[in-house]
Amino acid sequence: MSFDRRMCCLRELKDIGFRIGCGFVVGSPYQTPHMLAKELKFIEELQPDMCDIIPFVPHKIRRFPHSLRDPCCRQRICFLWFG
């Protein structure tokens, strides 16, 4: 599902009275600072009832094991968690 479609669905659910939650993974492969900013801005505008922001945790037997060595990935996670 595209970002825009996901956002549209969440807005529609909120408009008809559902309590909504949203969130995203920080530090996932190929994620850019622009993508993070877009997610955070949407959460700010939507004002969901619940929000979950979790770190991407790479593992050597999973897809993207190279992320274990990616300093940018670790920096983004630390920045969002510890300011």
Q: Read off the pLDDT of residues 41-61 as tens digits, 9 standing for 90 and up.
A: 989 999 999 999 888 877 666
Span 11-42, pLDDT tens digits: 999 999 999 998 888 888 788 888 888 888 98
Angle at 21 between CA 17 and CA 27, to 5 degrees: 155
For residue 55, the model assigns a pLDDT of 82
Q: What is the percent of the chain with per-residue pLDDT over 90, rounded to a whole number?
A: 29
22, 10 in Cβ contact below 8 A? yes
In the predicted model, is pLDDT for residue 71 greater than 60? no
Q: CB under 8 Å to 67, separation ≥6 — which residues?
A: 27, 29, 56, 58, 73
Orientation angle between helical segments 71-82 and 33-46, nearest 10 degrees: 30
Residue 9 pLDDT: 93
Helix, strand or coil for residue 50? strand
Looking up tokens 């790479």 gives 58
